[in-house]
Structure 1
Amino acid sequence: MTTLEARPPLHQLSTCLLLGHQLGQSDDTAPITSALVRAFNGEREVRVLTAIGTLLRGDATAAQAELARERLSGDADAGTLVFALADRLAGDGDAWRRPVDHVLATSSEPALRSLAYLIEASGPT
């Protein structure tokens, strides 16, 4: 068996990371986090997965913290919109508005625009 065959696929590791954060076992996910950061050559994808996992537990703070960090860049992509969705669903403020407006004003990518419209229409009423 080669090294590649012995390594679990990234989607399985990603699923374990999501589940660990959803169940509140963040400390136990540290080895998975390290492996995914190396595999993805960066932390951003892992931060998105972590934010989704904690959001599934009902805690939007990780996503809101990432949204605040990314707000400084002024860019908006799918990851930023995931953080914006969490902020919108939490109903704590309007930090979600800036990236959504940015996508709607500048993006011609249908998937991003659809997600931005969904975020705008969702949330507490």
Structure 2
Amino acid sequence: MKFAERLKLLREEKNLRQIDLAKILNISRQSVSNYENGVRFPNDELLLRRIAEFFDVSIDYLLGVTNIRNYYHRNIENIEAKENGIDYKIDKKTALNNLFYEVDDLPSDKIEKITAIIKTIKTLIK
């Protein structure tokens, strides 16, 4: 999915008209229309950031690089792991980003199966 499609989808999910989004972003309704129709692309990095922040998605998601809307919403905690006698320390945000990267290109039915497996493992280790 390209930027134009993502922008329209996000706007419609919030039940906003183009004019509403234009006012929120401080741009013209025509600009929103041009972005959604793929006629133009925002040439302002700050505008892309404002769009991403307003819809609570990553810029990567907006640009169609990933299907994960937002990589991280939780507090960062350190994770410690041991593998072959070697201690690894990684912050939770990095660990989650690594996990998301690994599953991002999988179809949603496979991601659901992985999620079910993780839930099962969590109940076993509590």
| TM-score of the superposed pair, with normalisation by structure 1 | 0.28
Q: Which structure has more strand as a fraction of its residues? A: 2
Q: Which structure has more helix as a fraction of its residues? A: 1
State which structure, 1 or 2, has the greater radius of gyration over its C-alpha atoms: 2
